[in-house]
């Protein structure tokens, strides 16, 4: 927490306390129908803002401590005038995303989300409205269809092959400066998009950059735009040149080609440059965090549990063999590997809380009053590690998911969240499953993984301000297939 933030909060507290002849702190009470969900004591005007600021940068850990101390599955905090509702119960989560999905179909407006979406021109971060509906239709009807997924399969296959061929020589063939800058910017964006900024709840403070997030967000977009824009503009020039010459649109090479060549009813480009830029950013952001985080955590857990690693490689050898590389078509039969990834999603989500939903009208959840404009946060951490739902919730046990003929990475009952559901759910479940499973399967099939000689056990400690491994996973890879498969 910065000195500037402390100073502002202290000033606000003094101001509000002086204006109030009598300060009354509300106390949480056991569940009573018709009231707000239980929550900690609040101060006039600012609510729990002072506690949020005091617990930065690990606000989510403070939230989950409160949930545990209060022994509740639903809790209400107040930041300024905004009620923030946190849910850790699958039944209540289903009520939010299924029964009353239409009520909670909007998103908050924040400095970071507005910056990353170029003024809410995309689909994922935009509030409910016509722009969101337009871009959602583009995603579901044009980009993330099964036919387009199959059509662009060759691009993914190339990347899967590059992974296998490059890993043995990664010390001399690693990512370049621009690749590292790009990935760094993407993860910085993911870590800042809804990160409990003071000005997100007290808009009058916008511009003071009390949390330092405004400058970080703008710097992220400068990097992303610098790297994305030349490619996007070149593709648009190609489209214009083709149309001027009276030629037909060529077969789409990738998702970018798809969005650039979309036309409206009058034959004009359907999407503006800003919409193309925004949707490109959101698609890349949506694809980068969960696969890499789940695979890293799964490998970390499995390297400390050799029997699990052996079961996974045995399944690969039985289903695929060792004379060819695993392909997307093999995924349905790799149930144990999918169970390992499900377990990683359950215990080790990248984000502790799901993207926030906003109540568009006054409503109720679990019998409690939820005022209009409240933010609803489903806790990935609270659902996946809930001892009322999972026995020994912190133990990595893939076998707990082997209860069906075809294990899926989705969880319909919302006992944990891998891909969200409902109107704001992930429309790319099939693609996300393929990307995640192929990254995991290729790494396990093509290489034997070992701890460095000096390491007895891999540390599974999380960072304080995130759920990622505190220390990046370092393992030694040894090829386990015939040499020609790595070329």
| 448, 477 contact by CB (below 8 A) | yes
Q: Residue 171: its pLDDT value, please?
A: 54
**Mean pLDDT on 366-384:** 97
C-alpha angle with apex 158: 155 to 163, nearest 5 degrees? 130
Q: Residue 328: its pLDDT value, please?
A: 98
> 464-480 pLDDT, tens per residue?
999 999 999 999 999 99
Element (H, E) at 363: strand 363-365
| 302, 308 contact by CB (below 8 A) | yes
> 184-210 pLDDT, tens per residue?
999 999 999 999 999 999 999 999 999
Would you say residue 16 has pLDDT above 50?
Answer: no
Would you say residue 31 has pLDDT above 50?
Answer: no
Would you say residue 23 has pLDDT above 80?
Answer: no
Give all domains of the chain, ordered by start, each with its CATH number: 3-486 (1.10.630.10)
| 374, 85 contact by CB (below 8 A) | yes
The pairs formed by 458-465 with CB atoms below 8 angstroms and a separation of 24 or more are 458/300, 458/303, 458/304, 460/300, 460/301, 460/304, 464/57, 464/58, 464/61, 465/57, 465/58
C-alpha angle with apex 477: 475 to 481, nearest 5 degrees? 155
The pairs formed by 210-213 with CB atoms below 8 angstroms and a separation of 24 or more are 210/2, 210/4, 210/5, 210/8, 211/2, 211/5, 211/56, 212/2, 213/111, 213/112
Q: Residue 401: its pLDDT value, please?
A: 97
Residues 53, 35: Cα–Cα separation, whole Å: 26
pLDDT class of 361 with cuts at 50, 70, 90: very high
Taking the CB of residue 173, how many other CB atoms lie within 10 A of it?
Answer: 10
> 131-177 pLDDT, tens per residue?
999 999 999 999 999 999 999 999 999 999 999 988 765 555 678 89
| 108, 356 contact by CB (below 8 A) | yes
> 252-294 pLDDT, tens per residue?
889 999 999 999 999 899 999 999 999 999 999 999 999 999 9
The pTM for the full model equals 0.91
Would you say residue 108 has pLDDT above 80?
Answer: yes
Q: Residue 34: its pLDDT value, please?
A: 63
């Amino acid at each position: 927490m910065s000195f500037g933030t402390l100073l502002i909060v202290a000033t606000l507290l003094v101001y509000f306390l002086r204006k109030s002849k009598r300060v009354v702190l509300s106390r949480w009470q056991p569940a009573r129908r018709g009231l707000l969900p239980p929550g900690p004591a609040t101060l006039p005007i600012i609510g729990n803002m002072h506690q949020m600021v005091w617990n930065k940068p690990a606000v989510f850990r403070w939230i989950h401590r409160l949930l545990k101390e209060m022994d509740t599955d639903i809790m209400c905090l107040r930041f300024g005038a905004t009620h923030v509702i946190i849910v850790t119960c699958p039944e209540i989560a289903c009520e939010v995303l299924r029964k009353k999905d239409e009520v909670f179909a909007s998103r908050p407006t924040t400095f970071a989300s507005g910056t990353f979406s170029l003024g809410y021109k995309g689909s994922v971060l935009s509030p409910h409205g016509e722009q969101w509906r337009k871009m959602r239709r583009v995603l579901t009807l044009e980009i993330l269809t099964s036919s387009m997924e199959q059509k662009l399969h060759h691009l993914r296959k190339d990347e899967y092959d590059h992974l296998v061929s490059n890993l043995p020589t990664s010390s001399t063939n690693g990512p370049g400066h621009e690749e590292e800058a790009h990935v760094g910017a993407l993860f910085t964006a993911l870590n800042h998009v809804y990160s409990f900024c003071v000005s997100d709840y007290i808009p009058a403070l916008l511009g003071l950059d009390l949390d330092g997030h405004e400058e970080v967000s703008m710097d992220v977009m400068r990097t992303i735009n610098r790297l994305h824009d030349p490619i996007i503009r070149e593709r648009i020039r190609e489209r214009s040149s083709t149309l001027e010459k009276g030629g037909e649109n060529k077969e789409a090479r990738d998702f970018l080609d798809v969005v650039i060549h979309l036309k409206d009813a009058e034959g004009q480009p359907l999407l503006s440059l800003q919409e193309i830029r925004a949707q490109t950013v959101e698609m890349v952001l949506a694809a980068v965090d969960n696969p890499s985080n789940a695979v890293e955590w799964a490998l970390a857990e499995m390297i400390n549990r050799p029997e699990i690693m052996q079961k996974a490689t045995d399944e690969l050898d039985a289903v695929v063999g060792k004379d060819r590389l695993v392909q997307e078509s093999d995924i349905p039969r790799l149930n144990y590997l999918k169970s390992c990834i499900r377990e990683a999603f359950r215990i080790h989500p990248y984000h502790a809380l799901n993207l926030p939903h906003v109540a568009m009208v006054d409503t109720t959840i679990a019998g409690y009053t939820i005022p209009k404009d409240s933010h609803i946060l489903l806790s990935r951490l609270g659902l996946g590690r809930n001892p009322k739902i999972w026995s020994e919730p912190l133990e990595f046990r893939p076998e707990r998911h082997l209860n069906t003929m075809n294990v899926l990475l989705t969880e319909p009952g919302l006992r944990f969240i891998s891909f969200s559901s409902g109107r704001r759910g992930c429309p790319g479940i099939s693609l996300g499953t393929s990307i995640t499973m192929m990254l995991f399967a290729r790494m396990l099939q093509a290489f034997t993984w070992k701890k460095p000689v000096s390491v007895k056990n891999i540390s599974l400690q999380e960072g304080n301000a995130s759920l990622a491994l505190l220390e990046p996973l370092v393992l030694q890879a040894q090829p386990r297939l015939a040499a020609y498969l790595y070329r």
